[in-house]
Chain A
Amino acid sequence: KAGVTQTPRYLIKTRGQQVTLSCSPISGHRSVSWYQQTPGQGLQFLFEYFSETQRNKGNFPGRFSGRQFSNSRSEMNVSTLELGDSALYLCASSLVRGDSYEQYFGPGTRLTVT
């Protein structure tokens, strides 16, 4: 079955602009999480959505937002971009089956803010 897909894969934006990133989870997965990865801060959790509801949120400013659609696809939006928002943005979908938990990451979107 198809893995997690993220679009676009690469993006260059200018400070002050906004950006929307998209994530399509594995079929049947209803949970989608977003993460930011930078050389300085490492991996950081942004938010998690389950059945169109934000279930958890990391410690990021309100400029970072997301949503999930009825087909479990998710988008995240960053408004008023800052240079420090340059990062690899990763999406992961997950599934809980009884006591078992599995999670799969997409390839990420590399965002560069100039």
Chain B
Amino acid sequence: GQQVMQIPQYQHVQEGEDFTTYCNSSTTLSNIQWYKQRPGGHPVFLIQLVKSGEVKKQKRLTFQFGEAKKNSSLHITATQTTDVGTYFCAGNNNNDMRFGAGTRLTVKP
């Protein structure tokens, strides 16, 4: 069945540094979602990507969907302490939804 691998598992950065997390699927996806979850909180939906090669921006966050619709990335420019949390991707293929294991981001002020 479909698998979604997410790397890295952990990332510790100095405030102001950039951060990127990557998701790779074993199968072609119809779409992919990204979420952020703060410690002790519930996931917060960030974005859905649908089109091949799609790039979307939300302030300091840039989301990309690969041309083959099998990989995606989330890039944060100039991290802030408010960016702390775990970032998850979730890929959909034929109504089969699989989450990545998440990347836990910590930011040192």
Binds A, one of B17-25, B62-70, B77-85, B95-103: B95-103
> Interface residue count for A (Cβ, 8 Å)?
19
Given the contacts A101-B48, A103-B33, A45 and B42 also touching, CB distance less than 8 Å = no
In this assembly, does A84 line the interface, its C-beta being within 8 Å of a C-beta of chain B? no
The DSSP consensus for interface residues of chain A is: strand
Given the contacts A56-B95, A56-B97, A42 and B102 also touching, CB distance less than 8 Å = yes
In this assembly, does B10 line the interface, its C-beta being within 8 Å of a C-beta of chain A? no
Are the C-beta atoms of B42 and A103 separated by less than 8 Å? no
Instruction: Among B42, B45, B50, B90, point to the contact of A108 (Cβ < 8 A).
Output: B42
Give the chain B neighbours of A108 by CB distance below 8 A.
Answer: 42
* Interchain residue pairs with CB less than 8 A apart (25): A42-B88, A42-B99, A42-B101, A42-B102, A43-B88, A43-B90, A43-B99, A43-B102, A44-B99, A45-B90, A45-B99, A56-B95, A56-B97, A59-B1, A90-B42, A90-B43, A92-B43, A99-B50, A101-B48, A103-B33, A103-B45, A103-B48, A105-B42, A105-B44, A105-B45
Interface residues of B (CB under 8 A from A): 1, 33, 42-45, 48, 50, 88, 90, 95-102
